[in-house]
Amino acid sequence: MTFAHRVAPYLQALPLTLILGVFLVVPIAVIVMVSFWDYDSIRIYPDFVTFNYEETLFSFVTWKTYLNTLKFTFIVWAITLFVGFWVAYFLAFHVRTATMQTVLFLVCTVPFLTSNIIRMISWIPFLGRNGLLNTALVDAGIVPAPLEFLLFSEFAVVLAMVHLYTLFMVTPIFNTLMRIDRALIEAARDAGASGFQILTNVILPLAKPGIAIGSIFVVTLVMGDFITVRFMSGGQSASVGLMMANQISLLQYPAAAANAVVLLVVVLMIVAAIVRVVDIRKEL
C-alpha cells in the first residue's frame, strides 16, 4: 500500500474532524475551563477553584432541581413514546399509499413552521382560568368552577413539552417501521400469530433502534429545556436549564458552566444507557 493510499482516509476525515473540533470540542472545553473560574457580583476571575462544583453537587436545592428535571424528562419521554409510536404505527401500517403517508407526515410537521414560544403561548388562552377549555367544561356542567391546575403548573409544562417534542419521537420510529419487511408480518400471521403477538414479537423488537433514537432526542431536549418551564409553570417549577439561565442573568457564568458540565455528564450517562440496551447502528 502506497503512502497516498494510507493517508487518503485521514484526509477524507479531516474536514469533518475540523468542524467537530471547532464547533463541538472547543466550546465544551471553554465551558469546562470557565467552570473552574472564580466570580463575584460584577466580574469573573480566571482561576482554578472547585467551589462551583461543590455548590452544584452538595446543594439540596440543586439536587431537588435535578430530580425535578429528571421527573419532567421521564414523564415527557413516556408520553411521547406512547403517542409517537402509535402515530408512527398508524402512518406505517394503516396508511396504504406513500403519497398519503407523506401528506399526513407533513401535517404532523405543520406546528414546527412556527417558533416554540408561539406554540407555548398558544396554550395560554386555551388552558387559562377563563380559557376555552375551562369555559367549555363549566358551561357543560362537567366542573362547578374553572380548573386551576391547567395553566401555570407542572401539568402545563408537561403538556407543552409533549406538544413540542412528540415529532422527534415520531420521525425515527416511523423511519424504522417503514424498513420492516412486510413479509415477516405476513409470515407471522400465516403461522397463527395474533395482532398483539405480531406487535410484541415482530414489530416492537424491530422498532427498538428508532425508539432509542427518538428517546435520545426527547431526553436531551427536555433535560436542556428552560423556556418551557419558565413560561408554562409561571415560576412555580424549576429545571436545570432554567437554573443555569438565571445564573447567567446574574452574571454567575462559572456556576452556570459547572451546572452545564454536570448536566452534560448526566445526559451522556442516560444516552450511554440507551445505546447499551439498544444497538442504534442498525438505524444509522
CATH number at residue 103: 1.10.3720.10
Q: Give the pLDDT of residue 236.
A: 80
Q: Give the pLDDT of residue 80.
A: 96
Any domain includes 183: yes
Task: Identify the band that residue 48 occupies on the pLDDT scale cut at 50, 70 and 90.
Answer: confident
Instruction: Retrieve residue 131's grid coordinates.
Output: 380559557
Any domain includes 43: no
What's the chain's average pLDDT? 87
Any domain includes 169: yes
* Share of residues in the chain with pLDDT > 70 (%): 98
* CB neighbourhood size of 89 (10 A): 18
Any domain includes 1: no
Task: Identify the band that residue 134 occupies on the pLDDT scale cut at 50, 70 and 90.
Answer: confident
Any domain includes 53: no
Which residues, 6+ apart, have CB-to-CB distance to 220 below 8 Å?
267, 271
pLDDT: which is higher, 5 or 101: 101
pLDDT: which is higher, 33 or 101: 33
Q: What is the mean pLDDT of residues 248-267?
A: 92
pLDDT: which is higher, 132 or 283: 132
Any domain includes 6: no
Any domain includes 35: no
Q: Give the pLDDT of residue 58.
A: 87
Structural domain span for residue 212? 60-282
Any domain includes 37: no
Q: Give the number of domains in the chain.
A: 1
